[in-house]
Chain A
Amino acid sequence: MMKLEAIIQPSRFESVKDALHEIGIEGMTVTEVRGHGRQKGHTEVYRGREYTVDLLPKIKLEMVLPDTLVNRVVDTILKSAKTGKIGDGKIFLSRVEEAIRIRNDERGENAL
């Protein structure tokens, strides 16, 4: 089982979600985050002072996937989240030790 974390542009979120539903992925956790990699922020002016706001809003998607689905999901996200510009985001993959469904104590890939 792999955990997939994707940080994407908020404007691409709906397309990514739709694309994932189309390939049968329904379980995900979505958080609104702020951050930046190489992308520059924007300047705001308050009372004559300029401030650089360099923490930009992003969407973080998290999901745990059976190994067999990982590549397909990565490709789907890459296709639907890409705009080609700096600030598109990143995908991180990490191994998951165990998954347990709370409702009925199912374990392993059955719990996903």
Chain B
Amino acid sequence: MKHAAWKCSLLLVFALSPVPLPARQTAPPSATPSSTVSTSSNTAAEISNATNEKLAQLEQRVAAAQSSADNAWMLVSAALVLMMTGPGLALFYGGLVRRKNTLAIMMQSFALMALITVLWAVIGYSLCFGSGMVIGDRFDTGSVIGGFEHAFLRGVGAEPNPDYAGTIPQSTFMIYQLMFAIITPALITGATAERMKFSGTVLFLTLWFLIVYAPLAHMVWGKGGMLNASLGGKFPTLDFAGGTVVHISSGVSALVCALYLGKRTGYPRQPMTPHSLVLSFIGACLLWVGWFGFNAGSALASSPLATSAFVATHFGAAAAALSWSAAEWIRNGRASALGAISGAVAGLVAITPAAGFVGPMSALAIGLFAGALCYWMVIKVKALFGYDDALDAFGVHGAGGTIGALLTGVFAQQAINPIFGSGKAVGGLDGHWGQVGNQLVGVLLAWAIALVGTFVLLKIVDWTTGLRVSEEQEIEGLDITQHGEEAYNLES
């Protein structure tokens, strides 16, 4: 009897695991037996009720077990994504700048870890994932931005929010999404490195988060968002983990910043080589590992889809590292460490929108393409146009995010993720080539918001705190002039 019950519960676990279950709050009511029926029927009815109750309890426990697994994975994922900023990105960027600017670039990432967190708690989460506000009784902002219903995290607690993730506390979803909001502005600091004021950075990125990130995040992931593929947006853009929201937005903004701020003093004649590729190497590896939280965690459950995204992420990174290295080897006769790690990052960027929609072989293809494309962007296009995107934020994130988002439309398959409903074609490989068009809409919108928003905000910050340090400060170094510190006091 015990054996059968065990098999029965196992069966239920397998049957119910791929489907996110709403958390059961109450047991279903049990049927009351009629008193006029004969004794044998009473017993049968009692047994039936007892079985029904047992099954209900069993379903509850299975759901609780699933929730518990989902929550554990999501909390780990949130931690992994935070690690991507600190120390992942901090080290990656830190090693690429000259010694005199090491602390400054690290401080910018760290400051965002603190600053964005507070903004998120106060208003950020609400703007991104709230339902939109109705202005003047007619205009519902829901397709573009959320409202204030969750300001100060009101209503965000242990209860799941079934619109987003039905098996985990909304708080888990909130904290997970926060880590994305932190790293996105941090990526932009790569373009303004070695010449932007700390005060200007703080003000600019605060405004950028509110005016560029929040609307875009809402449009792609928020309820009512017009690009939201899973909640019926008008132009469903497939973006599993943030190719548009994170990489295109930050990458394109980075380009605008680099152009507006101008070149570093002495660029490009004076060599400005990385002061420690060891730090960059460590940072890149932390980014790779952390990215599993970024992409696989975007499944919002501990599920086969998370596995699929995990695998795709890893394959994308590996393939891109290879193609960037190959391109370098062909062009320069040698493969460099910096090239290999840059390639891996480019692949991770490109697979980000695709991770939960494409198969492993598609992931390899996306990675191979992205590695080569981003190499070309960074080597040829940057030199051609002459912009000083100091740490290649645009070349890797802007370009990688764009190509990744478009290729998602090509390689997405319903066999991996039936996002539009069971049996409905998703991407090009399913025959639905129109999806590439939808992707293009999302890509163009992200580009437009980033371009316009960033330019306006740069102007505002330029008028207030100012953006660029003086030439003397730039030559002396940001660590001393902005923070009064030196990164290395090896003689002390």
Contact = CB atoms under 8 A, between A and B. Distances in A.
A43 B194 CA distance: 24
B383 A48 contact: yes
B273 A46 contact: yes
A64 B222 CA distance: 76
A102 interface: no
A70 B378 CA distance: 56
Contacts of B265: none
Contact of B392 (A44, A47, A51, A53): A47
Contact of B382 (A44, A47, A51): A47
B332 A46 contact: no
A47 B271 contact: no
Interface in B295-336: 332, 334, 336
B379 interface: yes
A59 B338 CA distance: 29
B284 to A, nearest CB: 15
Nearest to A45: B332
B271 A51 contact: yes
Contacts of A47: 378-379, 382, 392
A48 B380 contact: yes
Interface in B270-299: 271, 273-274
B33 interface: no
A49 interface: yes
B18 interface: no
B268 interface: yes
B273 A48 contact: no
B378 A48 contact: yes
B274 A49 contact: no
A48 B336 CA distance: 11
Most chain B Cβ neighbours within 10 Å, of A44, A46, A48: A48
Interface string A35-49: 000000000111111
A51 B273 contact: yes
Given A49-B268, A49-B383, A44 B273 contact: yes
Interface in B3-52: none
Nearest to B380: A48
Contacts of B271: 44, 46, 49, 51, 53
A48 B274 contact: no
A32 to B, nearest CB: 13
Contacts of A53: 271
Nearest to A43: B332
B380 A46 contact: no
A44 B337 CA distance: 13
Contacts of A48: 378-380, 382-383
A112 B239 CA distance: 75
A45 B383 contact: no
Contacts of B338: 46
Contacts of B273: 44, 46, 51
Contacts of B392: 47
A47 B339 CA distance: 8
Interface in A46-85: 46-49, 51, 53
Interface string B379-393: 110110000000010
Contacts of A49: 268, 271, 383
A41 B383 CA distance: 24
Interface in B388-429: 392
B306 to A, nearest CB: 35
A105 to B, nearest CB: 29
A49 to B, nearest CB: 7
16 contacts: A44-B271, A45-B332, A45-B334, A45-B336, A46-B271, A46-B273, A46-B274, A46-B338, A47-B378, A47-B382, A48-B380, A48-B382, A48-B383, A49-B268, A49-B271, A49-B383
Given A45-B334, A47-B379, A48-B382, 18 more contacts: A44-B271, A44-B273, A45-B332, A45-B336, A46-B273, A46-B274, A46-B338, A47-B378, A47-B382, A47-B392, A48-B378, A48-B379, A48-B380, A48-B383, A49-B268, A49-B271, A51-B271, A51-B273
For the complex of A and B, 6 pairs with smallest distance between CB atoms: A48-B379, A51-B271, A46-B273, A45-B332, A47-B378, A48-B383
